[in-house]
Amino acid sequence: MALEHILSPLTVGNVTLKNRVVRTAHGTNLGNGALSDDLIAFHVERARGGVGLTILEASSVHWSGPMTLHAWNDGIIPRYRKLVAKVAPHGMRLFSQLNHLGSLQGAPWCRPWSASETVNPLTGMRSHAMSEGDIAEVVAAYADAARRAREGGLDGVEIHCAHGYLLQQFLSPESNRRSDRYGGSFENRVRFYLEILAAVRSAVGDDFVVGTRVGPHNRPGGLNIEEHFVIVERVLATGLIDYLNVSHGSAANPHKIIGGMHEPTGYELPHSVPVARLAKLPRIVTGRFRTLEDADAVIARGDADLVGMTRAHIADPAIVSKAESGRGATIRPCIGCNQGCVGGLANGRLGCTVNPAAGQERELGERRVRKALTPRTVWVVGGGPAGMEAARIASLRGHRVILMDAAEQLGGTLRLARQAPFHGDIGHIADWLTGELARRKVEVRLRAKVTRELLTYNRPDHLIIATGALPSATALPGAGRGHVLDVRKLLRTPEIKTRSAVVYDTVGNYSGIAAAEVLLGSELRVAYVTPFTTLAPSLAAALVVTPALERMQGSGSFELITRARIQQVDSDQVTIESEQGWPSREVSADTVVVAAPETPESDLAIVAQELELSHAVVGDASGTSTLQDAMRDGHMAGRET
């Protein structure tokens, strides 16, 4: 049958999973350390959608290392039980991942604990070298946390030994400089890890699942594949674990842990599969898997027994149930932008760019969209993501929806954004929304201009204005010259025949990166000028800036100039002035591309006000600046019709 591998059952230890689809542990901060009702609802929605196994977000086992979920006291046990009771009818199994970040995350009340006294390169914080008493305390804390998971009714625990966290800090000669029985030789450095595994197994017994997550770092000096051969063989020899979960990357290269849309499906496999093949136990791998077909192929090849589809389930909780019922085309795609999930967590709490309900299932879950008491005629003007999402939700409410757009096809600025190198997946959400509108039988009118006259004589009951934004007029000297382009124009005509270019970025999002990569692809020398202190600061938390810099700097034709502005544009060069006081300098440029804030196109709002029409303005037309904001705007406008 189709998907016969990924949808087949599997026994791990004494637990039988109904399928091989896994949601690996991921932070949400939906409860600020607690297993809150919001966090429970988040997991229940995915259980309802058919996933076989969920590994709860990494839980901190000890007060010295707080994380987004705390498992260091018995207060979590009744919360586990509530979660278990709610997911039980859906057959999803639950493991808890137990962790301590070590030097990478200290509590406000103490220095971060680690194998040795080292300085965190990201924060400058000096870590506390754990005494043997501290080590014994943390070993006991892991065992206690595992006991709580069992008493709470969970099916298993996973000991996190990847990503450069505390256990790997003991394993790595880079961070472990001890001279006692926990440092020096490999047998000494692995001792802490093995003591934890033994203590956990003793606490939960032989009839409870215990697994571990490991992961090569893929960086010079790290715990790479060769080091993991030794580590994993040593762990397997103990007989203490029931499964092996192999990840990739570290805190020193986090963009490898959670690869963005620039990474292909299965990008982690070259690093994880060689390690996974050491085990005869069930093995989990991950690596930006978005479809069950891709996951099924991994198992068919024998590379693993279970496949992680974590971000895919943030985007659409019902992947499995939709596939099983023949509705695979309706699965909302994860686009790998990392802005709502990874970026959201960094900024406070998890969300999702393409799924506004993620993390807010109790209020915004799609099953909570209520039919309107009185269906109305709703016009949506603008076929970008905000307009399409508004039309989709308004149609779910039972309204008669007509979407009008002046363009020849739907998608708005996503049609251009997907033309950028390494950025094509962003357009998948436009494709999905287009399909959903067709399935919902929303009337779509393209090449349709909505005017005052049309609104005067054909008054809708409600008008949603999603007309987007336009490139701003700029005071940049030389802006009227033919070789000065905005990013939209560059993406429409990417064949540039000149020799050198300047990208001038005053907005700090992906548009400047897109422009630079198009120009580098045409073999131009590119100087990237920005008044910000870094490249694309609005994307810092999404783990996409470092990979972009690696690509661009690897070309040998790229220069980044920060804290600077363009003073003058001539035919073959620009003059750059510093915001830090260094003298002005000239840079060769026979092409100049400007990435600047755009101006909302909201003239229809004035018309609607004058005609006293019920209306809402959403997306870029209202001044939002991200795809996530646009999708949420549209979603809420559809609900409020």
In terms of residue numbers, what domain contains 108? 10-364
Residue 129, domain CATH:
3.20.20.70
Residue 421, domain CATH:
3.40.50.720
> In this structure, are 260 and 137 located in the same domain?
yes
Segment 230-241, tens digit of pLDDT: 999 999 999 999
Percentages (nearest 5) of helix, strand, coil residues in the chain: 35, 20, 45
User: pLDDT grade, residue 535 (50/70/90)?
Assistant: very high
Give the span between the Cα atoms of 245 and 308, in whole angstroms.
10
Q: Looking at residues 295-301, what average pLDDT do you find?
A: 97
Q: Which of 346, 364, 382 is the last residue of a domain?
A: 364
Mean pLDDT, rounded, of the chain: 95
CB neighbours of 463 closer than 8 A, spacing ≥ 6? 378, 379, 381, 455, 604, 608, 613, 614, 615, 616
Give the span between the Cα atoms of 569 and 572, in whole angstroms.
8
478 is a domain residue:
no
> In this structure, are 181 and 49 located in the same domain?
yes
Picking from 428, 431, 158, 420, the residue whose alpha carbon sits closest to that of residue 312 is: 428
378 is a domain residue:
yes
Give pLDDT, residue 271: 96
229 by Cβ neighbours in 10 Å (0-12 / 13-18 / 19+) ranks as middle
CB neighbours of 466 closer than 8 A, spacing ≥ 6? 380, 381, 382, 383, 384, 386, 387, 390, 617, 618, 619, 621, 634
CB atoms < 10 A from the CB of 446, how many? 13
> In this structure, are 334 and 377 located in the same domain?
no
250 is a domain residue:
yes
* The pLDDT of residue 31 is above 60: yes
Give the span between the Cα atoms of 229 and 163, in whole angstroms.
16
Q: What are phi and psi of 248, to 5 degrees?
A: -165, 145
62 is a domain residue:
yes
User: pLDDT grade, residue 176 (50/70/90)?
Assistant: very high
Q: Residue 307 has which token pair?
A: 């496949």
2 is a domain residue:
no
Q: How many domains does the chain have?
A: 3
The model carries a pTM of 0.95
CB atoms < 10 A from the CB of 366, how many? 17
> In this structure, are 547 and 425 located in the same domain?
no
How far apart, in Å, are the Cα atoms of 116 and each of 17, 63, 162, 572?
Answer: 40, 19, 18, 55
> In this structure, are 87 and 180 located in the same domain?
yes
Containing 91, the helix (H) or strand (E) segment is none
Segment 269-287, tens digit of pLDDT: 999 999 999 999 999 999 9
Report residue 325 CA to chain centroid gap: 27
Give the span between the Cα atoms of 292 and 206, in whole angstroms.
32
Report residue 544 CA to chain centroid gap: 10
User: pLDDT grade, residue 475 (50/70/90)?
Assistant: low
424 is a domain residue:
yes
Half-sphere exposure (Cβ direction) of 387: Cα atoms closer than 13 Å = 30
Give pLDDT, residue 409: 95
Q: Which of 364, 384, 416 is the last residue of a domain?
A: 364
User: pLDDT grade, residue 473 (50/70/90)?
Assistant: low
* The pLDDT of residue 523 is above 80: yes
405 by Cβ neighbours in 10 Å (0-12 / 13-18 / 19+) ranks as buried
Give pLDDT, residue 106: 67
> In this structure, are 102 and 217 located in the same domain?
yes
> In this structure, are 236 and 334 located in the same domain?
yes
Segment 340-377, tens digit of pLDDT: 999 998 888 999 999 999 999 999 999 999 999 999 99
Number of residues assigned to the chain: 641
438 by Cβ neighbours in 10 Å (0-12 / 13-18 / 19+) ranks as exposed
Q: Are strands 598-600 and 469-471 parallel, antiparallel or unpaired?
A: antiparallel
440 is a domain residue:
yes
Q: Residue 55 has which token pair?
A: 């590994």
Half-sphere exposure (Cβ direction) of 286: Cα atoms closer than 13 Å = 27
> In this structure, are 490 and 608 located in the same domain?
no
Contact (Cβ atoms closer than 8 angstroms) between residue 57 and residue 71: no
How far apart, in Å, are the Cα atoms of 596 and each of 62, 88, 313, 472, 493?
Answer: 47, 51, 34, 7, 18
Contact (Cβ atoms closer than 8 angstroms) between residue 466 and residue 381: yes
Segment 68-127, tens digit of pLDDT: 999 999 999 999 999 999 999 999 999 999 999 999 876 777 889 999 998 877 777 899
Q: Residue 438 has which token pair?
A: 């067709």
Q: Which of 333, 364, 395 is the last residue of a domain?
A: 364
* The pLDDT of residue 37 is above 70: yes
Segment 402-446, tens digit of pLDDT: 999 999 999 999 999 999 999 999 999 999 999 999 999 999 999
Q: Are strands 400-405 and 15-17 parallel, antiparallel or unpaired?
A: unpaired
* The pLDDT of residue 497 is above 90: no
> In this structure, are 314 and 397 located in the same domain?
no
554 is a domain residue:
yes
Per cent of the chain over pLDDT 70 is: 99
> In this structure, are 524 and 635 located in the same domain?
no
> In this structure, are 456 and 509 located in the same domain?
no
> In this structure, are 99 and 171 located in the same domain?
yes
